[in-house]
Structures are given as structure tokens and as C-alpha cells.
Amino acid sequence: MTRKQKRLSVIAGALVFLGAATALTFYALGQKASYFYMPGDLQAATLQPGQRIRLGGLVENGSIVRGQGTQVEFGVTDSEKTVKVRYTGILPDLFREGQGVITEGSFGTDGEFVADSVLAKHDENYMPKEVADSLKAKGVWQETTQ
């Protein structure tokens, strides 16, 4: 092999290695992605059984039902549609009706959303960006001025 052929084979090997590393990285990231939906978006979505998603919106007024222990059921709404959510665990301190919330989980066999994490806004000025943008687009949520 000439010097030029050795150099080209090293460069080709490095490119193959970088391509394989990039492909594996994108594959791993794609497996962990959870897509964000509002309740009104779910009707048009094609979800696989057990697919993890993020469901965001406002906690529906009068929908919080506490069960035994730490089990809670509540509705997440975008004023068009409401999705019933079941969660077992400790809710954030600021979780309450009419507040922005993002839940992560998947739909159960009964069509109810089973969440394994619930995130609530942390002060009166904060709303998760995805939720705020979607609610603003629908004309439901208005920013408070101080």
C-alpha cells in the first residue's frame, strides 16, 4: 500500500466509525422521545399501544378525585376536550384545579391515561412553554400582568 492509500483507508475508517456512532445516537434518542399532546390533539394522533407521551393542559375544575393512599384521578383539558388521568404518587405542592400541568405516561386498556409523573407550574408567572403556546393559540389562556 502506498502512503496515499493508507491515509485514505484511515479517513474512510474514521468516517465509517463516526457514521455508526451518529446512527446509534439517533436511534437511542428516538427510543426515549415522548411526544407532547394537548387533549384536543389526541383524536388526530395515531398512538401505538403503550406509547409514552406527554399530555398537557389545565387541570379541569371539579375533576380531582382522591382515592385510597396516593391514588388520584383528574381531568386535563384544553377547553375543547378533556382526558381523564389516573396517577399514583405524590402530587406537586402547587397542583390544583385550573393550573397548568404536564403529565407523562401512556393510555391504559380502558382508554384512561395512566401517568407516572405529574409536573405543575411552580409560581404564578410560569406555565410550561408547550402548554402556554397551545392554549394561547386556542385563545384559552391569557398571561397575567403585574
Residue from 99, 92, 91, 94 nearest 128 by CA:
99
Beta carbons of 91 and 114 less than 8 angstroms apart: no
Q: Is 27 annotated as a binding residue?
A: no
Q: Are the C-beta atoms of 120 and 101 separated by less than 8 Å?
A: yes
Q: Report whether 126 belongs to an annotated binding site.
A: yes
Residue 115 backbone dihedrals phi, psi, to 5 degrees: -95, 145
Which positions make up the binding site?
A: 122, 126
Which positions make up the binding site for heme?
A: 122, 126
